Amino acid sequence: MMELITLQTENTTYQMGVSELGHLLHLYYGAKIKGDMSCLLTYYDRGFSGNPYEAGSDRTISMDALPQEYPCYGMGDYRSVAFNMRDEQGVFGVHLKYKEHHKTEGKYDIVGLPAVYAKEEEAYTVEVMLEDEEAKIEVILKYGVLPKLDVITRSVVVRNVGDTKRYISKVYSSTLDFLTGEFDLLHFHGRHNMERMMERVPVIHGNQSFGSKRGTSSHQHNPFFILAEKDTTEEFGSCYGMSFLYSGNFRFEVEKDQYNQTRIQMGLLDEMFDYELNPGEEFYAPEVAMAYSKEGLTQLSQIYHKLIRYHVCRGAYKETRRPILINNWEATYFDFNGEKIVNIARQASELGVEMLVLDDGWFGKRDDDNSGLGDWYVNEKKMNGTLAEVSNKVHEMGMKFGLWIEPEMVNEDSDLYKEHPDWAFTIPSRKPIRSRNQLVLDFSRKEVVDHIFNQIATVIDSAQIEYIKMDMNRSICDVYSALEGYQNYGKIMHQYVLGVYDFLERMLNRYPNILIEGCSGGGGRFDAGMLYYTPQIWCSDNTDAIERITIQHGTSFGYPISAVGSHVSAVPNHQTGRKTSIHTRSVVAMAGSFGYELDLNLISEEEKEAVKTQIESYKKYWNLIHNGEYYRLHNPNIHTEMAAWNFVSEDKKEALVNVVSLTTHGNAPVHYVKCKGLDENKQYQLEETGEVYDGSMLVNVGLPIPVIPKEYQAWQYHFIALS
Ligand code: GLA
């Protein structure tokens, strides 16, 4: 009998087994089962699939065909592996065998890295130790189990217990092997201004790989993936999620092998990774959060919403309503002074906006994006006074005050660069790649982080500040650390991310009441790692209501609504030139953490009245929007006429249905929007009209949407259950 290690959650089971030869095999992950799944394993003599020496003349045991828990290179598995190492001579490979495992109460955490957290009684941890006796390497696989939430997290510790250096060339955090199944992959690709577009593709024979080598998790591929059985829909079928709590280079791979077995895995990008591990040292791999649903994609998303909202996000604003803000970026860009900002704030405060966020351009010499980054002192001439004076004026209007920063960057045209040119990533004797005319500071160096942190803290301490927008506006290149004595460059990109996390952790410790919003040219660093520090992230620089629907739809698969920074901006929209009504813009922006990003002095009186109403609506609905359950009612890849989504309170007594028309036609047919998540045995009253609808009718037939011969109409229906 095989020794089994079984993890149980309320609705799922995860099982590994230790083979007679000491290999840790993956047996099962999916719907809850009882018993020993080692009966699923089959043994055949497979040509060109090598056999471990210890198997003697038995040619049916091969790592190339058996499901692995943590596949590593060098053991005869020719699929993509999770782990590889080299020694100082450049010899690759490792032979990991099971040593021991144990279980403890509570959820593990990870030094210097974001991790899911839970109360002692909400989680347990299982650690499985593997070792290579020859290479003197120990690998500890960590599993954090949150039974109520049906979540299992994974992380890995690598320990050099020998007396020579080793280099980790690949270290993924999570692998899943499936013996059987026909799958699709759902991934979220994009670009600046168009992030997280959902694409569903069949898993094919061979290896498909997605990821980022940009230094951030990136606009181009989000570190969240779903593997779904072919027939899986929003409400039906098996699907698995993997979310990486990490904000830098990563890779996700899916591979269908020669025997139609499927492997998915995720972790740090191995390209250019070569992590030097000295004798006695340990390496901590970032965490992957896995979840399984046998009831389709909606349920899987709702698991991640709860996980991230309650077990990843932290801070004073984790569960409270975020202030409704006005940001001056699209209102002014760099063309402002203190007076203009105060005028924007005044009009906004009269309409009920609760916070003014001063965006890029308040510091150093920064009247365009070619200079000033790195010089974190207030440009008092431009601001017509000190920051405290501006902030006081805003506070006198009854508003909070927020500030934009971009700590990881430097312009060559700055005092900082003149003083410390070696603090920027550049390769000696080579001209660096510029992007937005800026270079990236070497945040792998503590002294750099110290300096920038102290400069920014001095500014924050000088005025009353309740919010920080932390931006990051380029991809990283020219990776080289000028730190004296530095030898191994295969570590830097990871240490850079650790430096960013260190900066953020210091911010949270020093300013526990400040709300930090993440940002990277909009949603270029929108990941569960960032959300550990910043409970919301500016979702995209694209503020066009219609395109935002697709962006927010894709984002909703892996991230809670509260995480999505979303604003009403001016029309014609600055990114697309499209015109939509202020009502439509507000309905879309309310599916997030709500705000405005335009000069409200410039809109009509009628629109000002609309803004007042919107603010009241958001205050009324935010709890339902952030804490209720979110349902996608349309798929933008299929439904091109109408977009719709609804929120339902957990007790199903309240629902908010949102609909936006995407096209307009002469003599148009009527669309019916089927709601989701309502109680079919309840009657719901539509607050606006008093009309009563049967829950079963709303769910099974749908709500008729009025035909209006006008583009981009939006509706918000608020239903209250009668009993
Ligand atoms: C990025 C952000 C914008 C704005 C600008 C300022 O693009 O996403 O919201 O802050 O930087 O330079």
Tens of pLDDT along 303-315? 999 999 999 999 9
Rounded to whole angstroms, the Cα distance separating 352 from 341 reads 16
Report CA dihedral (277, 279, 281, 285) to the nearest 10 degrees. 40
For the chain, the C-alpha Rg in angstroms (whole number) is 27
Q: What is the average per-residue pLDDT within 623-632?
A: 98
Q: Are 196 and 526 in contact (CB under 8 A)?
A: yes
CB 404 less than 6 A from any atom of ligand 1: yes
- Model pLDDT, residue 723: 80
What string of H, E and C letters represents the secondary structure of 328-348? CHHHHCCCCCHHHHHHHHHHH
589's enclosing H/E stretch is helix 582-589
pLDDT in tens, 147-157: 999 999 999 99
Lowest mean pLDDT among 282-286, 636-640, 667-671: 636-640
d(CA 139, CA 142): 10
Best mutation site among 329, 411, 470, 525 for ligand 1 pocket (most ligand atoms within 8 Å of CB): 329
Residues 395-416 have pLDDT tens digits of: 999 999 999 999 999 999 999 9
* CA 490 vs CA 252, 269, 277: distances in Å: 19, 11, 11
Task: For residues 589 and 305, give the distance between their C-alpha atoms in angstroms, rounded to a whole number.
Answer: 18
Q: How far, CA to CA in Å, does 722 sit from each of 650, 686, 695?
A: 16, 10, 11
Q: What distance in angstroms lies between residue 360's CA and the mean position of ligand 1's atoms?
A: 7
User: With a 6 A CB cut-off, is 473 part of the ligand 1 pocket?
Assistant: yes
Distance CA 255, CA 264 (A): 6
Percentage above 70 pLDDT, the chain: 100
Q: Indicate if ligand 1 lies below 6 Å from the C-beta of 526.
A: no
DSSP 171: E
Average pLDDT value for residue range 671-675: 97
Is 342's pLDDT higher than 80?
yes
- pLDDT for the residue numbered 488: 82
CA–centroid distance, 373 to ligand 1, in Å, is 13
Kindly tell me if the per-residue pLDDT of 1 is higher than 90.
Answer: no
Tell me what pLDDT residue 483 has: 86
- Measured in Å, residue 541 CA sits from the centre of ligand 1 at 7
pLDDT in tens, 88-102: 999 999 999 999 999
Annotated catalytic residue: which of 541, 544, 599, 679? 541
3-state secondary structure 520-540: ECCECCCCCCHHHCCCEEECC
pLDDT at 271: 96
Ligand 1 near 522 CB (within 6 A): yes
What is the rounded (10 degree) CA torsion for 198, 202, 207, 209?
0
CA-nearest of 99, 97, 90, 271 to 165 is 90
Average pLDDT of the residues of the chain: 97
Q: Could you give phi then psi for residue 394, rounded to 5 degrees? A: -65, -45
Instruction: Compute the distance from residue 538 Cα to the ligand 1 centre, in Å.
Output: 9
pTM of the model: 0.98
Predicted confidence (pLDDT) per residue in 71-82, tens digit: 999 999 999 999
Q: How far is the CA of 369 from the centre of ligand 1 (A)?
A: 10
Of ligand 1's listed atoms, the one at least distance from the Cα of 404 is 10
Query: Which candidate, 523, 490, 515, places its Cα nearest to that of 194?
Result: 523
Is residue 487's pLDDT more than 80? no
Confidence category of residue 209, pLDDT binned at 50, 70, 90 = very high
Which ligand 1 atom is the nearest neighbour of the CA of 520? 8
pLDDT given at position 486 = 78
Q: Report the alpha-carbon distance of residue 359 to residue 565 in Å, rounded.
A: 15
Average pLDDT of the residues in 101-124: 98
Q: If you average pLDDT over residues 269-293, what whole number do you get?
A: 98
The residue among 234, 254, 147, 126 whose CA lies nearest residue 556 is 234
416: enclosing H helix or E strand: helix 415-419
- Of the chain, the percentage scoring pLDDT greater than 90 comes to 98
Ligand 1, atom 1, residue with closest C-alpha: 521
* DSSP notation for 84-100: EEEETT--B----EEEE
Stretch 172-188: mean pLDDT: 98
Tell me the C-alpha distance between 535 and 305, whole Å: 12
Mean pLDDT computed over 712-718? 98
Pocket test for ligand 1, best of 325, 333, 360, 596 (most atoms within 8 A of CB): 360
Confidence of residue 577 (pLDDT cuts 50, 70, 90): very high
Query: 538 CB under 6 A from ligand 1?
Result: yes
Atom of ligand 1 nearest to the CA of 522: 8
Residue 406 C-alpha to ligand 1 middle, in angstroms?
9
3-class state of residue 614 by DSSP: helix
Q: Which of 403, 519, 539 to mutate to test the pocket of ligand 1 (most atoms within 8 A of CB)?
A: 519
For the stretch 426-466, pLDDT in tens is 999 999 999 999 999 999 999 999 999 999 999 999 999 99
Q: Is the CB of 360 under 6 A from ligand 1?
A: yes
- Whether 541 is catalytic is yes
Which is the catalytic residue, given 64, 471, 544, 679?
471
In testing the pocket of ligand 1, which one of 334, 367, 408, 473 has its CB within 8 Å of the most ligand atoms?
Answer: 473
Q: What confidence score (pLDDT) does residue 593 get? A: 98
Q: Is the pLDDT of residue 485 over 80?
A: no
For the Cβ of 246 lying below 6 angstroms from any atom of ligand 1, the answer is no
DSSP string, 210-265: EEE-SSSS-SSB-SEEEEEETT--SSSB-EEEEEEE-SS-EEEEEEE-TTS-EEEE
Separation in Å, CA 125 to CA 25, 152, 578:
19, 9, 51
Q: Round to whole Å and give the CA distance between 28 and 180.
A: 11
Q: Is the CB of 471 under 6 A from ligand 1?
A: yes
375 catalytic residue (yes or no) = no
Residues 6+ apart with CB under 8 A from 311: 116, 117, 118, 146, 149, 151
CA dist 78 and 719 (Å) reads 56
pLDDT in tens, 499-558: 999 999 999 999 999 999 999 999 999 999 999 999 999 999 999 999 999 999 999 999
DSSP annotation of 142 reads E
Mean pLDDT of 690-715: 97
Can you give the pLDDT at residue 234? 98
Helix (H, G, I), strand (E, B) or coil at 659: strand
